[in-house]
C-alpha cells in the first residue's frame, strides 16, 4: 500500500479514537482511560515485536528520539483525556488536532525544512480553523 492509503486509514482510525476517547471519559476517570488506552498500544507493540520479527538497529540518536517521542505522546495523551473529561469533544479534538503546526514549526526551525507561501497559507488557515472551532 502507498502512503495515501495508510494516511486515510490513519485518519479514519484517529477519528474513531477521538470519538471513543470521549465516550470513555464520560464513563471513567481520565487516568483509567489512559491506562486502558496504553494497553491497546501494548497489544500492537507485542504484535510488531513478536509477530513482525522487528529488530532494533543500533542507531542511538534514533532510539533516543523514538523514546522521547513516546514520552511526549504519553503525556500528551494523558492531557488529551483530561481535556476531554472536562470539555466538549467538538472543541477539544479539533483544537488538539492542530498539533502538526508544532511539528511544522520545529521542523522548519531545527531541521531547516522549507516553508513555501502555500505552506504558510495552510498554517494560517489551520490557525483560523482552530480559532473558529474553539468558539
Query: What's the mean per-residue pLDDT of the chain?
Result: 89
Q: What percent of the chain has pLDDT over 70?
A: 99
Residue 111: what pLDDT? 92
Provide the H-helix boundaries in 29-116.
Answer: 30-46, 60-86, 89-96, 100-110
Average pLDDT over residues 4-27: 90
Confidence of residue 27 (pLDDT cuts 50, 70, 90): very high
Average pLDDT over residues 96-100: 88
pLDDT of 56 higher than 80: no
Range among 8-12, 76-80, 97-101 with highest mean pLDDT value: 76-80
Question: Domain residue spans in the chain?
Answer: 3-87, 98-135
Entry pTM: 0.80
- Cell 505522546 identifies what position? 73
Where does residue 8 rank: exposed (0-12), middle (13-18), buried (19+ CB within 10 A)?
exposed
Confidence of residue 116 (pLDDT cuts 50, 70, 90): very high
Q: Can you tell me the distance from the alpha carbon of 91 to that of 133, in angstroms, rounded to the nearest whole number?
A: 6
Amino acid at each position: 500500500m502507498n502512503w495515501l492509503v495508510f494516511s486515510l486509514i490513519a485518519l479514519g482510525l484517529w477519528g474513531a479514537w477521538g470519538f471513543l476517547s470521549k465516550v470513555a471519559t464520560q464513563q471513567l476517570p481520565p487516568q483509567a482511560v489512559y491506562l486502558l488506552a496504553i494497553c491497546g498500544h501494548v497489544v500492537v507493540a507485542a504484535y510488531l515485536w513478536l509477530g513482525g520479527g522487528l529488530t532494533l538497529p543500533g542507531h542511538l540518536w534514533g532510539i533516543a528520539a523514538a523514546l522521547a517521542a513516546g514520552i511526549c505522546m504519553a503525556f500528551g495523551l494523558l492531557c488529551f483525556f483530561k481535556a476531554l473529561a472536562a470539555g466538549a469533544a467538538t472543541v477539544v479534538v479539533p483544537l488538539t488536532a492542530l498539533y502538526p503546526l508544532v511539528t511544522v514549526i520545529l521542523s522548519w526551525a531545527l531541521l531547516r525544512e522549507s516553508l513555501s507561501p502555500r505552506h504558510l497559507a495552510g498554517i494560517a488557515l489551520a490557525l483560523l480553523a482552530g480559532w473558529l472551532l474553539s468558539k
